[in-house]
Structure formats: C-alpha cells, structure tokens
Amino acid sequence: MANGLTHHLHLVSDATGETISSVARACLAQFEDADPVEHNWTLIRTSRQMEKVLDGIKEHPGLVLYTLVNEELRAALTEGCRKLQITCIPVLDPVIGALGSFFGRQARNLPGRQHELDAEYFGRIDAMNFALAHDDGQSSWDYEDADVILVGVSRTSKTPTCIYLANRSIKAANVPIVPDFPLSPELLAARKPLIIGLTKDPTSLVQVRRNRLRLLSQDEETDYVDPDMVRREVIQARRLCSEHKWPIIDVTRRSIEETAATILQLLSQHRNGDNVGTAD
C-alpha cells in the first residue's frame, strides 16, 4: 500500500463468490494504488463454517463484504463483526430491497440462485466451447452444426463477436479471409448456418492493425498495414461476400454489442426462411 499499511478485505458468500468478487473489484477500481489482501470465503452455509470465517477475520481484521441469504448466518456474521468492531456490509441488500418494493414481492432467498445449472446455462457453455473450438478457421469439418459463421479480413472483431454471441447461446464460428488464399470447401458447402461477412473502413483497419503489431513488438512496415494493400484486401473480401450472397456488416462504428444485435436480427430472419440482405 502507498501508506505502508496492509489492508485486509474479507469477501463472504454462500455461493461461488463471483458476485461479491465482481462488486469488490468494480469498487476498488475507483481507488488508485488500492491493493488489499483479499480473503475469499465461499460456499459458507453452516454455523461451523461461519466460525472459521470469524476466526479468519479476527486474525486479519479488515472490511467485510458479504452476500448471504440465510438469516442465522447473517446474524452470526454481523454479531461477530460487531464484537470485533469491524465494519460488515451486505452489498446486495439495497438492490434486493429496491427490487422487492418495485415488484411488490418478497425475494426467494436462495443461495446461488443466479448460478442454477439450467438448460440455458448449459446451452451457453456448449456455445462457448463451440466458439473456442471454431476460432480462426479451426474445426471446419462440422460447420453445419454452427448457427452463424462470421467471415472477414483480419481485425474485424470476428472472435470477440463470436464470444459475445456464445453468451447468448448462439454457436458461432469465424473464418479469416486471407488475400490469395481460397476459402475452405466446408465453408462453401455449409447450408444450415447463416454466413455473415464483417468489414471495416480501411483507414480504421490499418490503425487497429498497427496497434496490434506494436503490442506484439513486430515490424509495422508490411503489407498487413499498407493502406493500399489493406484497401484492396477489404474490397476483395466484400466482393467475395457479394458473390456468395452473404450479408455484410460494417463494424467500423459499431460496438460488439451492436454488431451482435444485428447478427441476431439476421439470424431470426434466416431461421424464419426470410431473405437476408446486406446489413451495412
């Protein structure tokens, strides 16, 4: 710490601790040089476990943040911290209370409710695994299992868009369009998935690529960032998509969320059998 003191932060949860950890990190980001020692107490659901938590807090006194729904455990933690003269904060209580008033009903008070392993959860995991396995033209043999296949030149946000779609349970693959390199037969033969081209303004694309090369400490004077070559590359990619009647989305001024929203709209049309036109 900047002032030479070691601060301890105790995060207590009756579930995986993801929520309390996210809240803590979001808040800590507002304090420069704040680097407390974190003590993560997860899946705390019995009195015996709570005793160990309080022993740990006593050994390393510090701020306590918690997400507990069991009233007995909440009371035990609150009382224990009161005796130790340590601040103890139930971080979700204000939000849950406000939502209860808004909806006019009582919260269910089930630990880990947001992490229930339902069909939707497993669908997202399956889609995420699919996106990772089919990144950058990999695993082309089962493209027919995809919902969406994104094609485009390098640095047109294909991978992050696929990851975002996976969080919406959409199986998305992505394939790079490389100058003078033919597309895979499996891609051209795919009939079930919606194939979409992503493009970007050449000037913006050159800047993104230059930044990428700087991060990799690589030579920036290559065809990869040559404005004329990049412009030609983008034109060829657009022409290729047009030839195959693949809709094209210009991502130059779009966020990942906006691009994904457009893709979901096109996918809905595709699944309904409607004609899918160019989106940009």
**Given a cut of 80, is residue 5 above it in pLDDT?**
no
Q: Per the annotation, does 251 bind a ligand?
A: no
Biggest alpha carbon distance in the chain?
A: 74
Residue 2 pLDDT class (50, 70, 90 cuts): very low
Amino acid 1: pLDDT: 45
Question: Looking at 62-71, 105-114, 241-250, which range is the least confident one?
Answer: 105-114
The neighbour count for residue 143, using CB atoms within 10 Å, is 21
Looking at residue 107, its pLDDT comes to 66
**91 annotated among ligand-binding-site residues:** no
Quick one: pLDDT band at residue 29, thresholds 50, 70, 90? confident
**Does the pLDDT of residue 124 top 80, yes or no?**
yes
Of residues 112 and 242, which shows the higher confidence score?
242
Q: What is the pLDDT of residues 211-240, one digit of tens each?
A: 988 888 887 778 899 999 999 999 999 999
Kind of pairing, strands 8-13 and 172-176? unpaired
Does domain 119-271 fall under CATH 3.40.50? My reply is yes
Closest CA to 113 of 9, 16, 227: 16
Per-residue pLDDT at 113: 56
User: Tokens representing 193?
Assistant: 């998935």
- Model confidence at 274: pLDDT above 80: no
Burial environment of residue 171 by CB neighbours within 10 A (0 to 12, 13 to 18, 19 or more)? buried
Reply yes or no on whether the pLDDT at 136 is more than 50: yes
Read off the pLDDT of residues 156-203 as tens digits, 9 standing for 90 and up: 999 999 999 998 899 999 999 999 899 999 999 999 999 999 999 999
- Any known ligand binding at 154? yes
The pLDDT of residue 260 is 93
> Per the annotation, does 199 bind a ligand?
no
What residue has token string 């980001």?
29
- Separation CA 171–CA 168 (nearest Å): 9
Q: Which residues pair with 63 in a beta bridge?
A: 9
Please compute the mean of the pLDDT values over residues 105-110 and round it to a whole number: 64
Round the average pLDDT of the chain to a whole number and report it: 88
Residue 156 among known ligand-binding residues: yes
Which residue, chain included where needed, has tokens 């950058």? 136
**pTM of the predicted protein model:** 0.61
Q: Is 200 annotated as a binding residue?
A: no
Q: Considering the chain, tell me which residue range(s) the CATH 3.40.50 domain(s) occupy.
A: 8-115, 119-271
In 3D space, the residue among 74, 14, 63, 68 whose CA is nearest the CA of residue 39 turns out to be: 63
Q: Is 78 annotated as a binding residue?
A: no
Q: Any binding-site annotation on 222?
A: no
Its CATH class, for the domain covering 8-115, is alpha beta
